[in-house]
């Protein structure tokens, strides 16, 4: 009886060149997906990590960020930020508190600070836009005019990473001391999610056209 015809173990397999091409395509797609996932994950990690900072280094000014964009104008958020800024002032972190945002909000913040024994002459307000980028651009221009370069930023913990990145982009020697009480201090998923999207938008779009307004002082 004759033996059955031999079958090749490579029957039905792709040519080596085709397998190599498919391997490269698969690897490229895998790397692309990993990078797409890694970018927002890195942003979230930056937000969570920066939120832990409470830098009490002495600076030239305390910047009280306007909380208007926190689900509307929440009085509890406003009060907690003002209270935190007043504590920093009382411990000598900086000799002046700079207010940002709308004039109406600044008036409320000024009254809150006065009630916490901050002298009126040490409270300076500037009418700025209601977003972090616009507010810090105005403050950076003021610091530059004064010949100052360092500032302590008071905002909510989830917003601290974006505020720090934007301030540094304008050339400010930024120190972070987020408010530690009130509804804005909670690292909720929706707040972190909104800040992640805003931080990525800043890095991908706004950062490339941002001028350095403050020059480092020796």
Q: Write out pLDDT tens, residues 21-79.
A: 666 666 666 665 556 556 778 889 999 999 998 999 999 999 999 876 554 557 888 89
pLDDT at 182: 84
Q: Does 196 reside within a domain? A: yes
Indicate the burial class of 93 (C-beta count within 10 angstroms; 0-12, 13-18, 19 or more).
buried
Q: Is residue 2 part of a domain?
A: no
Q: Which domain covers residue 139, as residue numbers?
A: 62-209
- 82 near 111, Cβ under 8 Å? no
- Quote the pLDDT of residue 119: 97
The pTM score is: 0.81
Nearest 5 degrees, angle CA 184-CA 180-CA 152? 95
Task: Give the pLDDT mean for 194-209.
Answer: 91
How many structural domains comprise the chain? 1
CB 85 within 8 A of CB 64: yes
pLDDT for 154 equals 96
Residue 8 scores a pLDDT above 60: no
Give Cβ neighbours of residue 127 (< 8 Å, ≥ 6 apart).
101, 102, 103, 106
Q: Is there a domain that residue 20 lies in?
A: no
Instruction: Specify the residue for token string 């302590």.
Output: 152
Whether 7 is covered by a domain: the verdict is no
Residue 157 pLDDT more than 90?
yes
Query: Is 3 within the bounds of a domain?
Result: no
Q: Is residue 15 part of a domain?
A: no
When the pLDDT of each residue in the chain is averaged and rounded to a whole number, the result is 84
Residue whose tokens read 């938008």: 201
* 106 or 89, which is more confident: 89
The model's confidence at residue 178, banded by pLDDT at 50, 70 and 90, is: very high
Residue 104's pLDDT band (cuts 50, 70, 90): confident
| Residue 25 neighbours by CB distance under 10 Å | 10
- Domain for residue 118, yes or no? yes
We report the CATH number of the domain holding residue 117 as: 3.40.50
Residue 78's nearest CA partner among 65, 91, 88 is 65
With respect to residue 124, please indicate whether it lies within any of the assigned structural domains.
yes
Residue 193 has pLDDT above 60, yes or no: yes
């Amino acid at each position: 009886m004759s033996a059955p015809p031999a079958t090749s173990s490579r029957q039905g397999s792709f040519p080596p060149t085709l397998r190599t091409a498919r391997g490269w395509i698969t690897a490229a797609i895998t790397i692309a997906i990993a990078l797409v996932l890694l970018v927002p994950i890195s942003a979230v990690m930056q937000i969570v990590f920066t939120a832990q900072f409470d830098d009490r280094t002495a600076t030239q000014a305390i910047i009280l960020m306007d909380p208007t964009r926190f689900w509307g104008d929440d009085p509890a958020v406003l009060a907690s930020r003002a209270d935190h800024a007043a504590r920093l002032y009382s411990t000598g972190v900086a000799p002046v508190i700079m207010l940002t945002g709308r004039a109406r909000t600044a008036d409320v913040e000024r009254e809150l600070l006065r009630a916490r024994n901050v002298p009126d002459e040490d409270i300076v307000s500037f009418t700025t836009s209601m977003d972090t980028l616009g507010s810090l651009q105005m403050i950076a221009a003021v610091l530059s005019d004064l010949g100052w370069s360092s500032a302590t930023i008071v905002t909510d913990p989830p917003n601290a990473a974006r505020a720090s990145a934007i301030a540094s982009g304008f050339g400010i020697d930024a120190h972070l001391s987020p408010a530690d009480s009130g509804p804005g201090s909670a690292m909720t998923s929706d707040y972190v999610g909104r800040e992640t999207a805003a931080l990525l938008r800043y890095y991908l779009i706004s950062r490339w056209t941002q001028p350095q307004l403050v020059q480092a002082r020796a």
